[in-house]
Copies of this chain bind each other. A is one copy, B any other.
């Protein structure tokens, strides 16, 4: 009866995508359900998965909205 909640920013994983695709969601669901089966022997039909996509401006990191934080990190000299 596990519940797995996956929170990710709403953005594409590849150029041309602006969000997680239905196929990627299906693979996330399959993948984490399999982990619960492999590690804890939980049958697939006992696991719920909930994916929550979070708008970029609603996700903070480093005290900043995540896009601003990524820019700051990338501009940090090596």
Main secondary structure of the interface of A (DSSP, over half): mixed
- Interface residues on chain A, number (Cβ under 8 Å): 53
Whether the pair B3, A50 counts as a contact (CB closer than 8 A) is: yes
Against B, the Cβ 8 Å flags (1 = close, 0 = not) of A6-28 are 11110001100000101011111
Whether the pair B59, A48 counts as a contact (CB closer than 8 A) is: yes
Chain B residues within an 8 Å CB radius of A9:
1
- Known A-B contacts A9-B1, A22-B57, A27-B39; the reply to A34 vs B52 at CB < 8 A is no
Given contacts A3-B3, A33-B63, 11 further A-B contacts (CB under 8 A): A1-B59, A3-B5, A4-B6, A5-B7, A8-B40, A22-B65, A29-B60, A32-B35, A34-B63, A44-B62, A50-B54
